[in-house]
Structure 1
Amino acid sequence: MPVRKNQRDLTASEKKRFVDAVLELKRRGEYDEFVRMHGEFYVTDGELRPRAAHMTPSFFPWHRRYLLEFERSLQRIDDRVTVPYWDWTLDASAGSSLWADDFLGGTGRTGDRRVTTGPFAYGNGNWTVNSRVVDGRYLTRDLGRPSDPLTLPTKADVERALAEGAYDAPPWDSTARSGFRNALEGWSAGSPERWRTHNRVHRWVGGLMLGATSPNDPVFWLHHAFVDLLWERWRRAHPGAGYLPAAKLPRGDRQHKRVFALDEPLPPWDVTPAELLDHTRWYRYG
């Protein structure tokens, strides 16, 4: 059974194997396909088309399948590789181990925020950004946003999300004021703290992690592996609280055919949220 480890517990060899597999996936052109997929399925509240990946109840199952597909692609290159997770409540500074030169590299330089250290630096010739919503061919970061400092979510922030008793709530979008899904995804309509939890991490990293093509930064996968683990912790803490909405929304609901109920297939895989609730047949967390 593949084990997804906390990145701080990886050996030097495990880090190298992960990095090498990601770079090879990039060389083959497969990595950019994952970036494009995320951009395609990043659909906002205001768009009148189905929302499977963000601002929607299927945020967790969609990303679970997405990460699983990515992990399987890495394992076709090296079957000993799994996606590690980044617990940003513990490793909460730009000096944390995941930003080391032998792993993900560090923050961007002053001015253009271009990453110049580590294996994903453009100058090393292995990481050209091809699928993007902004100009530039290089990876960018602005860890902690020094010009307007931002902190990562804390354990208390996570505990507040985990305490939510229901999975999600109407209107099933970024404006939902209760439910675990939005508490962890982190939209905060009408609040001075606009970005919370998952969203706040994207803001803290900055650079290419800010947009719909955020998987251009390999830290995306470690971030979402931790989000996936937190979903599992919530499920264990609330065994009687199932995925919502459980049934297809009626025709009169403004979210009819825009959000996905428990047994409605998620694009592009034709797999339902119900089929993605239990991850233990594919991997476990260490």
Structure 2
Amino acid sequence: MYTRKNQRNLTGAEKKRFVGAVLELKRRGTYEEFVRLHSRYYVSDAEGGVRAGHMAPSFLPWHRRYLLDFERELRKIDATVTIPYWDWTTDNTPAAALWRDDFLGGTGRERDQQVMTGPFAYSAGNWTIKGGVTDDRFLTRDLGRPSSPIALPSKAELATAMNEKVYDAAPWDSTATSGFRNRLEGWTSGGSERWRNHNRVHRWIGGAMLGAASPNDPAFWLHHAFVDLLWDRWQQKHPKATYLPRKKLPAGDPQSGRAISLEEPLPPWNVKPSTLLDHRTIYRYAT
């Protein structure tokens, strides 16, 4: 078993090792495979077919397996590396340590949002965006969206999700008005607070993090490691709660064949959510 640490507690050497492993995955072309996979399984309510990665109960187990696969690739390069997590309720400004030049680099320049600092800057020569998802070949960010400012989620806002007593609820999509999964994923019907929790973080970073190809920004992994940690904490807070729906939805349900129940296979791995409810034999989170 290994440990995922809070990014603010990483030593300089640990930051360097993480960055080095990510850059090596990029050099090998493996990184793009993860970007394509996430794009493939970003299926919205309005689209047909199975919704595995987002806007569905399987949002959390799907991303847990996705992060595990990525982490395994990193650890093949350097066995000391794990994915650090970013507590965005605490390190909640562009001045936070993760945006410094020795780690993820900072925000983008005003005219085109191109990241100019840190190891993932296009000018550093090691981070070219590929795959044809956007026209930009460089990483983009717009931390805090200065032209129309937004704030990262607060501890109080996150508590609205953590206090939910059930995992998810019908209609098992982005319109669910209760349940931990959608409160944490952060879909709402609109208004000034349309984006909550997980979704708000993507909006706050902006640039490459706004679309289905959001893993093009390495900040994605730190963000989702924290989301994964929050699922673990929610389970500890509500020990009698379980993944829902437990049973395959009947044929007459509008979400039948779209929302994945506890014992149905998650694509593309053909593993069940029930096998991903507990990570403690593989890794733990340092507080």
Same fold, judged at TM 0.5 (above): yes
Counterpart CA distance in 1 for 2:190 and 2:66 is 30
Aligned residue number for residue 126 of structure 1: 126
Counterpart CA distance in 1 for 2:23 and 2:133 is 22
Q: Deviations over 1:91-144 (max 9, x none)?
A: 000000000000000000011000010000000110000035321100000000
1:169 shift after superposition: 0.3
Q: Structure 1 length as normaliser, TM-score?
A: 0.99
Aligned to 2:164, the other structure's residue is in SS state coil
Aligned residue number for residue 63 of structure 1: 63
Counterpart CA distance in 2 for 1:267 and 1:54 is 13
Q: Is the 8 A contact 1:132 1:213 kept in 2?
A: no
Alignment of 1:82-231 (within 5 A): 82-231=82-231
Aligned residue number for residue 271 of structure 2: 271
Matched to 1:208, the amino acid is A
Aligned residue number for residue 34 of structure 1: 34
Aligned residue number for residue 285 of structure 1: 285
Q: Is the 8 A contact 1:186 1:198 kept in 2?
A: yes
Name segments (4+ residues, structure 1) moved above 4 Å: none
Q: Is the 8 A contact 1:115 1:139 kept in 2?
A: yes
Counterpart CA distance in 2 for 1:179 and 1:191 is 20
Counterpart CA distance in 1 for 2:276 and 2:135 is 36
Q: Is the 8 A contact 1:131 1:213 kept in 2?
A: no
1:189 shift after superposition: 1.4
Matched to 1:226, the amino acid is F
Matched to 2:124, the amino acid is N
Q: Please list every run of 5 or more consecutive structure 1 residues that lacks an aligned counterpart in the other structure.
A: none
Matched to 1:216, the amino acid is N
Matched to 2:273, the amino acid is P
Aligned to 1:3, the other structure's residue is in SS state strand
Taking only aligned residues, the RMSD between alpha carbons, in angstroms, comes to 0.7
Counterpart CA distance in 1 for 2:79 and 2:124 is 26
Q: Deviations over 1:204-249 (max 9, x none)?
A: 0000000000000000000000000000000111111110000000
| 2:46 pairs with 1:46 | yes
Q: Structure 2 length as normaliser, TM-score?
A: 0.99
Aligned to 1:226, the other structure's residue is in SS state helix
Counterpart CA distance in 2 for 1:174 and 1:103 is 33
Aligned residue number for residue 14 of structure 2: 14
Counterpart CA distance in 2 for 1:199 and 1:45 is 15
1:191 shift after superposition: 4.1
Aligned to 1:144, the other structure's residue is in SS state coil
Counterpart CA distance in 1 for 2:190 and 2:206 is 23
Q: Deviations over 1:2-43 (max 9, x none)?
A: 100000000000000000000000000000000000000000
